Amino acid sequence: MKRPVKKAVKKSGAAPVIDPYLPNNGNFGYRVSRYELTLEYKVAINRLAGSATITAVTLTSLKTFTLDLSDALSVSKVTVDGRRPANFRAAHRKLHITLNSALPAGAAMSIEVRYSGSPRPLRTPWGEVGFEELSNGVLVAGQPNGAASWFPCDDHPSAKASYRIQISTDSPYRAIANGELVSRRVRAAQTVWTYEQPEPTSTYLATLQIGMYGTLKLPKAPVPMQAALPDRLRANFDHDFGRQPQMMKLFITLFGPYPLSNGYTVVVTDDDLEIPLEAQGISIFGANHCDGNRGSERLIAHELAHQWFGNSVTARRWRDIWLHEGFACYAEWLWSENSGGRSADEWARHYHQKLANSPQNLLLADPGPQDMFDDRVYKRGALTLHVLRTAIGDDKFFALLRDWTTRHRHSTVVTDDFTGLAANYAEESLRPLWNAWLFSTEVPPL
């Protein structure tokens, strides 16, 4: 069922908005294809310095443009195509750049920004997000708009690019970023780590993790899988995370090929974390998720599933976040069903009862910015998929999921893309199902 796609709207006297859920995020006039970050970080004093080289193409004649960047970071120099611009200034989480003369539409441009500062998380309606100090190291939790806390960018999920991240830090520490580790160079008391992420990646999924981590490879995995964690947690990890290779095998069967060429990395921090986090090719857990009791296995499945749903196939706008969280939540139920736990149907009935007893004021297809991370989005999204599976049968349902991840691999989608594709797998109209589960607030009968 087709609904009109909202375009950027400009109210009188106001800047145009790309996404009403994040009205100050994202930028107009260009499209980034690559970020090359060359950074140095001093753990003891929380000092980040370096440069970002951004390769982009203009979408219109362009004389002024902006990048998203935290006010905690100071810009010392900007060049565009090797030349200094007429002016640049940073204010209100934006770096404003004015060129000496306009670039025509379709022009390639290379923007270099040198910057430094003491990075800190950004305060948002969803709490603090972005670059965060640990008790002995760093994590980046970028969702939904934390990328600007550590590099200048076009920070919106619809803006995907490739990355090269080079980070120099104190030698006792291991630095982990997205993609393949292509170089590790010890230089005096510093080690320089260089990572290459070729697949298109949304800015919120770019990450940097620094800690006193050892590494281990997971055996018998269908794609390369590794972990980085404190040595003290190794025994717990082998038990709590030991079934990840089987998870990977199951998800490849159900969802299609693993979408990244560089494998999958799990980071376990030495600190407790309230919730685990996903990044492109990486999931980050706290020490509390690695306690030897295997109590976080559903979360391990959830974060792994995000590599397909959210990271590869990404919502173009945040209102469609159920395409991330509903699918990853349903993957938890599928893992349970296939590993000796409750069936997906049992989980569906369990959470349907909970939803029926919760406030029924959430519209899954447009929950609003305050509720986009509400647990009802996760569970109602999973229930929607379960009802669809029941309606069209297992063979068609899983064929649909594999078609979805293949067709939209490394691209961005909206809800209508999924409902439109699903119509090809149904013998009867799915309109009543979508109206009940996506476009109504009342929880329908199961």
10-residue mean pLDDT profile of the chain (446 residues): values are: 38 71 96 98 98 98 98 98 98 97 98 98 96 98 97 97 98 97 95 98 98 96 98 97 98 98 97 97 98 96 98 98 98 98 98 97 98 98 98 98 98 98 98 98 96
Cβ contact 176:213 at 8 Å: yes
CATH superfamily of 315-437: Neutral Protease Domain 2 (1.10.390.10)
DSSP code of residue 309 = B
Compute the CA torsion angle 403, 409, 414, 419 (nearest 10 deg): 0
d(CA 427, CA 308): 27
Shortest CA distance to 31 belongs to which of 5, 75, 65, 78? Answer: 65
User: Would you say 30 and 56 are in contact if contact means Cβ atoms under 8 Å apart?
Assistant: yes
**Tokens 């149904």 -> residue:** 426
In this structure, which topology does domain 214-307 adopt according to CATH?
A: Zincin-like (3.30.2010)
- Residues 6 or more apart in contact with residue 238 via CB below 8 angstroms: none
Neighbour-count burial of 403, counting CB atoms closer than 10 A to its CB (0-12 exposed, 13-18 middle, 19+ buried): middle
Distance CA 328, CA 12 (A): 40
Q: Where are the beta strands (DSSP E) in 118-241?
A: 122-124, 127-134, 137-141, 160-170, 174-177, 180-187, 190-202, 208-211, 214-217, 225-229
Give me the pLDDT at residue 14, please.
57
Residue 261: other Cβ atoms inside 10 A: 13
What pLDDT was estimated at residue 1? 36
CA 423 centroid distance within chain: 28
- The two three-digit tokens of residue 124, written as one number: 């948002």
CB-CB neighbours of 186 under 10 Å = 9
Question: Is there a contact between 422 and 276 (Cβ–Cβ < 8 Å)?
Answer: no
Contact criterion met (CB below 8 Å) for 126 and 373: yes
Helix (H, G, I), strand (E, B) or coil at 301: helix
Cα–Cα distance, 12 to 158 (Å, whole number): 25
Measured between alpha carbons, how far is 310 from 321 in angstroms, rounded to an integer?
A: 8
| Predicted TM-score of the model (pTM) | 0.95
Q: How far apart are CA 344 and CA 350, in angstroms?
A: 10
Return d(Cα 163, Cα 33) in angstroms, integer.
9
* Sheet with 87-91, edge to edge strand ranges: 62-68, 94-103, 87-91
* CA–CA separation, 220 and 184 (whole Å): 26
List the structure tokens of 265: 């990395």
The secondary structure of 57-107 as a DSSP string is EESS-EEEEEEE--TTEEEEEEEETTB--SEEEEETTEEEEEEEEEEPTT-
Peptide bond into 144 cis (omega under 30): yes
Contact 229, 214 (CB under 8 A): yes
Interhelix angle for 375-392 vs 344-356, to 10°?
130
Task: Say what the pLDDT of residue 10 is.
Answer: 46
Domain ranges of the chain: 30-211, 214-307, 315-437
Q: Is the dihedral of CA 57, 63, 69, 75 positive or negative?
A: positive
With b for 16 or more beta-carbon neighbours within 10 A and e for fewer, the 334-350 pattern comes to: bbbbbeeeeebeebbee
Give the per-residue pLDDT at 15: 65
CATH match of 30-211 with 3.30.70.20:
no
Asked if the domains 30-211 and 315-437 are classified in one and the same CATH topology, the answer is no
* The two structure tokens encoding residue 261: 């060429």
Measured between alpha carbons, how far is 195 from 66 in angstroms, rounded to an integer? 26
